[in-house]
Amino acid sequence: MIKAAIEKAINEDMAEIWSLLDGDEKRLVLDNFEVHSFKKNQLIYAEGDEPEFLWCLLKGKVKKYKEGVGGRAQILRLVRPVQYFGYRAFFAEETYVSSAAAFEASVLGTLPMSLVKSMITKNIQLAWFFIKELSHNLGGSDTKIVNLTQKHIRGRLAEALMVLRDNYGYEEDESTLKIYMSREDLANLSNMTTANAIRTLSAFVAERLLVVDGRRIKIINEPQLRRISKFG
């Protein structure tokens, strides 16, 4: 019964990879797939750890981040269901260069990277899947570097809000972001100090672009925020 539940979860949540596998490969995945639950803010893996698993976020939200000067964290990437992460370091034969933690209570699945490597050597479609994933993530990283280094503060915060909107969407009211971030996390995503994030957020509220209630952010004028993100 447990195996049937796991097969259902894999077939639904990891359908893109599942469709690339033959019968024997699917049995290997079923035999080695494990489900893990993480509490809010719980560490998934830390910078310097050895990469052992392919991680797949099934439910919840995950952030990848790196500690910077003075212990300040820079959020590198937000992970949404169903996305894969944690495998680049294994392919590069190095330890993790960043950490990952749950933004909220989350459910993740894992496969041993040794098994993934074995399947990739025999399955060219699976190999191309990971090449595409890595290429997409590299392109996103390049864009993020330019945005964080060349945009002004307003543009960086607007960009961060649009990233949250595009990754996690809205609540049922079609305007409240479906993620509740602390001001510190918002600042870390935008590459600015917490004080600057608070001031810029207040400016957006004064301009009637947003309504803020604690950690809840309601976007009132998405087109204008996108313009600020693009040209800011």
Confidence band for 2, pLDDT divided at 50, 70 and 90: very low
Neighbours of 211 (CB within 10 A): 14
Residue 176 DSSP one-character state: B
* Alpha-helical runs (H) found in 20-179: 23-32, 88-92, 113-122, 124-150, 153-168
Per the prediction, the chain carries an average pLDDT of: 88
Q: Is residue 86 within 8 Å of 18, Cβ to Cβ?
A: no
Q: Does the structure show a pLDDT above 60 at 9?
A: no
Phi-psi region of 34 (alpha: psi -120 to 50; beta: other; left: phi over 0): beta
- Tell me which of 192 and 39 has the higher pLDDT: 39
CB atoms within 10 A of CB 209: 19
Half-sphere exposure of 140 (CA within 13 A, CB side): 12
State pTM to two decimals: 0.81
